[in-house]
Amino acid sequence: MNGWDQSVQMTAKTLFQKLWDRHCVVEDNGEFLLHVDRAYFHEGSSHAFSKLEQQARRIARPKQVFGFTDHYVPTLDRTNGVAGIAQPEIRQMVIALQENSKRHGIDCFGMDDPRQGILHVVPPEQGITLPGLLITGADSHTATHGAFGCLAFGIGATDMMHVMATQAIWQRAQKTLRFVIDGELGFAVSAKDLILFLIHKIGVAGGTGHVIEYAGSTIRALSMEARMTVCNMSIEAGARAGMVAPDETTFNYLKGRAYAPQGVQWEQALNDWKTLYSEDSAHFDQDIAIDAREISPMVSWGTNPEQCCPVTSTIPSPEQEKDPIKAQEMRAALEYQGLTAGMALTDIAIDKVFIGSCTNSRIEDLRAAAMVAKRGQVKVPSWVVPGSKTVKKQAESEGLDQIFKAAGFQWREPGCSLCTAINGDQLSPGERCASTSNRNFKGRQGTGGRTHLLSPAMAAAAALTGHLTDVRQLIGAPV
């Protein structure tokens, strides 16, 4: 019934197998009906509600479904609230989400809600995301929530309608890939550098058909916010989901949060969560060991996250790539990016800096960027976009907003902003951006725009110098 080979069933289980078995309702010809604990959606999910209405269906468990305004909300000026959104079609999408949520009895973190923010930032900080859950979201980066020991993945509008109507989803079993990363990350090396390094190592298709588990002493030493950054970009390696086994770091993060269990229920939940780990002899389809000392501050040069390397490197040559398909992809990327092989990454001048997105917009990300920002003045237009109003409020209480403003950064309202290139937040053709987001595809941040992925500290360093910069050169000692 659970879909695993008999020989595997007799052995120890991985975290993924435990979660799959817990949620499997029935198998039918190689497909499995899985119970869904949480469903997250944003303004772009209107089609799911339309399909529900067309079929005269109701939401099965509205208290397990949550709405978030993030993709389509403006981050520059909210003086007039929803009415101030200039484009009528975008304004209507935000209104429709809030109206649909109200009609169906769904908790919605609307534009005027003091907890509003990105759907991969708000649920963890509110305690909606919890260990052991199966979570579906109307966005591919739902993998973020796997940092809490969940099975979390993105789905389309049709599947979202099915989830809302039945609180279940059909899936095929996935293979498992484990990264075991051991050792201490080097000076100024972040979780973003770690995940870019891993994607570069296995490629954007390396995780296809797999769920990735991140393990080892390096991962255990990461904060929850850093683990979320790592799991967030599992999809960029082609994986269905990413996950980290919950531990004391997880439990300490969640305790006391608004939607988390309280009192006796907390103790009961904790006892269960402590069973969520991969057993010592559990089998993984792939097992890759990484020495954390190999990882340096990373930056992408091409048009997919695999095309990245240490900031101290030069751009690789397609002529040295043995795989002809990858060599051609490299040539196309260099042409689009306006770069040449052999060029030092630190010689690449940038036109804009974006610090934000569901990958790197949490309080720890802003602290890291601010630590660099206070060392100078920006040379190019630079934005800081917090992931939620909660993050924004915390940053302001710590004076981070004043550090950014004093250095010339623009301090914005929470939302996806330049990551999704909506509401005029976009690059012009040929414009080059140092971005803490997760995708550097052609046109991702605006038609003809060129994106370089990097960490918040690295992005802040680029803002101060006007070119890609090794942040270690700027922060040799605390100020």
Q: Mind listing the pLDDT tens digit for each residue in 117-173?
A: 999 999 999 999 999 999 999 999 999 999 999 999 999 989 999 999 999 999 999
**Other beta carbons less than 10 A from residue 335's beta carbon:** 11
**Other beta carbons less than 10 A from residue 395's beta carbon:** 23
Task: Give pLDDT, residue 225.
Answer: 98
Q: Whole-prediction pTM value? A: 0.95
8 Å CB contact between 436 and 360: yes
Task: Give pLDDT, residue 287.
Answer: 97
Task: Give pLDDT, residue 10.
Answer: 54
Q: Where are the domains of the chain?
A: 14-171, 302-470
Grouping H, G, I as helix, E, B as strand and the rest as coil, residue 269 is helix
Q: Are strands 134-137 and 151-154 parallel, antiparallel or unpaired?
A: parallel
Q: In CATH, what number does 14-171 get?
A: 3.30.499.10
Q: What is the mean pLDDT of the chain?
A: 95
Grouping H, G, I as helix, E, B as strand and the rest as coil, residue 354 is strand
What is the residue-wise DSSP string for 5-64?
Answer: -HHHHTS---HHHHHHHHHEEEEETTEEEEE-SEEEEEGGGHHHHHHHHHTT---S-GGG
Give pLDDT tens digits for 90-117: 999 999 999 999 999 999 999 999 999 9
276 membership: H or E segment, kind and range: none
Distance CA 48, CA 204 (A): 29
Distance CA 239, CA 233 (A): 9
Q: Is 110 exposed, middle or buried (0-12, 13-18, 19+ CB in 10 A)?
A: buried
- What single-letter DSSP state applies at residue 349? B
Question: Which residue in 309, 327, 358 sits closest to 197, CA to CA?
Answer: 309
- Strands, E, within 338-431: which ranges? 352-355, 382-384, 410-411
Distance CA 385, CA 415 (A): 7
Task: Give pLDDT, residue 477.
Answer: 55
- Please report, rounded to a whole number, the percentage of residues in the chain having pLDDT higher than 70: 97
Distance CA 132, CA 149 (A): 6
| Domain 302-470 bears CATH identifier 3.30.499.10 | yes
Distance CA 170, CA 166 (A): 11
Residue 313, amino acid = S
8 Å CB contact between 138 and 48: yes
**pLDDT-based confidence at 377, cuts 50/70/90?**
very high
Question: Which residue in 357, 332, 342, 347 sits closest to 421, CA to CA?
Answer: 357
8 Å CB contact between 222 and 186: no
**pLDDT-based confidence at 267, cuts 50/70/90?**
very high
Taking 80 as the threshold, does the pLDDT of residue 2 lie above it? no
CA dihedral for 404, 410, 416, 418, sign (positive or negative): negative
Length of the chain measured in residues: 479
Taking 80 as the threshold, does the pLDDT of residue 361 lie above it? yes
Residues in Cβ contact with 16 at an 8 Å cutoff, skipping those fewer than 6 apart: 151, 174, 176, 211, 213, 243, 278
